[in-house]
Structure formats: C-alpha cells, structure tokens
C-alpha cells in the first residue's frame, strides 16, 4: 500500500470524490505554512464554496487559540472554503459538521471508531487522532481538518505524543491518503448539507459520538470554570454545571480538559 509520504496526486483524490462542491477545485501543495492561510487567501479572492487546499507538510500548522499543530509528512492536512448562510451564532456548528464528517470518513476507510470531544477533537482509543479549526474571513469560513494518518508516534514531539494517536499506530498499517482525503471531503460535504437542512439531525449525529457530556470538565481561556458537562445546545455551546449554577461556554474560545480521563 502506498503511503503518499512524498506526493499527493490531485487526480487520484478527484476521481474518488463523491461531492458536488467540496474538493472542487482542489489545490495540492508539497509544503505550506498553514493550509488555513492558503484557503483564506483563496476565500478573499472570491473562491467558491468547497475550494480546498491540501498540503503534504505544514510548517506552521495551527490549532485553536494560537496553539501549534504538528503536521509532518504522512498526515492529512486540508482546509475548505465555506460560505455559510447560517446566522453567525450557529457558525460553530460548521465545525461539528467537519468533525462528524471526518470521524465518519475514517470509519468508512479503516473501520476505526472515532469519537468526539467538545468542541471538535477527533478521539480514537482515548487519544487525539485529529482536530478541526474553524476561522472566519469576512463572509467566508475556512475549516481546517487535521488527521494523524500515516505517522508513527515518533514523528510527533514527545509532549504531543503522550496524548496523541495515529491511524498507523492504531491499525498497524498505512492507509491510502488520497482515498482518505476524498472520503473526508465527501463526508464533510454530506454533513455540511445536513446541517443546512436539519441542524438538529446533525447535532444528534455529533452527540452519538460525543465523549464530553456527563464528564467532569475544567474550562480555561476566556472563562475559567470547573464542573460537569451537562449538554451541548443548539448552537454548539457547552452547558457546564458548576457550584455557581449552569454556565454556557461558546465553542472556539476555550480549552477543555476532562478531569476524569487523560485526554485534554
């Protein structure tokens, strides 16, 4: 099985796409700073919804709130331009559509069960397999998806390795990265379209994979609080029961650590 560590062939991805918009057009780079930055440039130039950037390696991959995202060769690092028609309060749900779609795609291609930690962590075997970064640029949103596919754990720095997992470490074999890329775009489009038609149905699919509700959590960032995660509401915010009552925490602004488990 080819691991696509040296090259990604756009034609192979395009042939496997089951989409009408996502991955069209598709821009493939050997190396990028952050695919979110390249997608944002495309969005600012008026690129249509679905325009996608994929890079073999990111030298400046980003997580949320200025954190860095390790992106060596062998992972799937891609960003999609969206032009949401949802009211701004519900934009975080676009990230939910991406994480449910990515989880479903990994299941389709490998059979592995991927669960989700609020707001958008992809978790397999209790460790972080990937993540989603939603950024806005004017009326466009850029959604970045990262999945540790054909990486060895030793490809990641020690401080990240302790809480990370890769598909290769999980399965003991590489996956076809072009097939995985096409599957992620296909499932992201499907779940994005479901969100437009029926946000409640998309939330139900997210909740079916959720690991957060019912757990003791510690939130840091804009808010600092500790309590029990009680519910995710209709705009993707987390309701946390604390000693001072129920607090509503918006996605995107905070870090969440589950206190009763190792994942952060």
- Residue 99 sits in the site that holds ligand BT5 (CB under 6 A): no
| Minimal distance, residue 244 CB to ligand BT5, in Å | 26
Residues 134-153 that bind ligand BT5 (CB under 6 A): 144-146, 148
In whole angstroms, the minimum distance from the beta carbon of 65 to ligand BT5 comes to: 6
Which one among 70, 99, 110, 235 touches ligand BT5, defined by CB under 6 A?
Answer: 70
- 64, 191, 192, 209: residue in contact with ligand BT5 (rule CB under 6 A): 64
Pick the closer one to ligand BT5 by CB: 69 or 206: 69
Strand partners, 218: 226, 257
Q: Which residues neighbour 72 within 8 Å (Cβ) at sequence distance 6 or greater?
A: 57, 151, 155, 156
Phi then psi for residue 133, to 5 deg, are: -125, 115
- CB-nearer residue toward ligand BT5: 140 or 201: 140
When asked if residue 69 is in the footprint of ligand BT5 (CB under 6 A), the reply is yes
User: Of 34-63, which residues contact ligand BT5 (CB under 6 A)?
Assistant: 34-36, 58, 61-63
Kindly identify the residues of this chain, within the stretch 101-140, that bind ligand BT5 according to CB under 6 A.
121, 128, 131-133
By C-beta, is 60 or 234 nearer to ligand BT5? 60
> Can you spell out the DSSP letters for 1-66?
----SS---HHHHHHH---SSTTSSEEEEEEES-HHHHHHHHHHTTPPTT-EEEEEEESS-B-GGG
Q: Residue 108: phi, psi to the nearest 5? A: -60, -45
The span from the CA of 147 to the CA of 128, in Å, is 9
Tokens of 17: 């796409």
Strand order in the sheet with 121-124: 26-32, 52-58, 76-82, 140-147, 127-137, 121-124, 115-117
Positions 159 through 178 that interact with ligand BT5 (CB under 6 A): 160, 164
Give residue number: closest CB to ligand BT5: 131
- Give me the least distance between CB of 160 and ligand BT5, in Å please: 5
Report the alpha-carbon distance of residue 203 to residue 123 in Å, rounded: 17
Of the ranges 68-76, 176-184, 185-193, 228-236, which one interacts with ligand BT5 (CB under 6 A)? 68-76
Tokens of 35: 């695919």
Can you list the alpha helix ranges (DSSP code H) found in the chain?
10-16, 35-44, 92-110, 158-161, 167-171, 177-197, 199-209
Of residues 129 and 202, the one with the C-beta less far from ligand BT5: 129
Nearer to ligand BT5, 146 or 199 (CB): 146
Residues in contact with ligand BT5 by CB under 6 A are 34-36, 58, 61-64, 67, 69-71, 77-79, 121, 128, 131-133, 144-146, 148, 156, 160, 164
């Amino acid at each position: 099985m080819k691991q696509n560590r040296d090259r990604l062939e756009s034609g192979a991805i395009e042939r496997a796409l089951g989409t009408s918009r996502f991955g069209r057009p598709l821009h493939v780079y050997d190396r990028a700073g952050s695919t979110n930055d390249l997608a944002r440039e495309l969005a600012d130039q008026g690129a249509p919804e679905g325009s996608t950037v994929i890079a073999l390696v990111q030298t400046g991959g980003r997580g949320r709130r200025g954190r860095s995202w390790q992106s060596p060769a062998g992972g799937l690092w891609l960003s999609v331009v969206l032009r949401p028609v949802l009211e701004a309060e519900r934009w975080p749900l676009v990230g939910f559509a991406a994480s449910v779609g990515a989880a479903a795609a990994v299941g389709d291609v490998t059979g592995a069960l991927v669960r989700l930690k609020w707001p958008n962590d992809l978790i397999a075997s209790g460790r972080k397999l990937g993540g989603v970064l939603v950024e806005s640029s004017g009326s466009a949103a850029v959604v970045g998806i990262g999945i540790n596919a054909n990486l060895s754990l030793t490809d990641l720095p020690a401080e990240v390795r302790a809480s990370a997992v890769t598909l290769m470490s999980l399965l003991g074999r590489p996956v076809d990265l072009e097939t995985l890329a096409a599957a992620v775009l296909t499932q992201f489009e499907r779940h994005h379209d479901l969100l437009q038609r029926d946000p409640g149905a998309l939330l139900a699919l997210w909740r079916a994979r959720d690991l957060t509700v019912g757990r003791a959590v510690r939130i840091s960032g804009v808010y600092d609080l500790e309590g029990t995660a009680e519910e995710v509401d209709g705009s993707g915010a987390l309701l946390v029961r604390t000693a001072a009552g129920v607090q509503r925490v918006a996605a995107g602004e905070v870090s969440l650590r589950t206190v009763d488990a190792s994942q952060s």
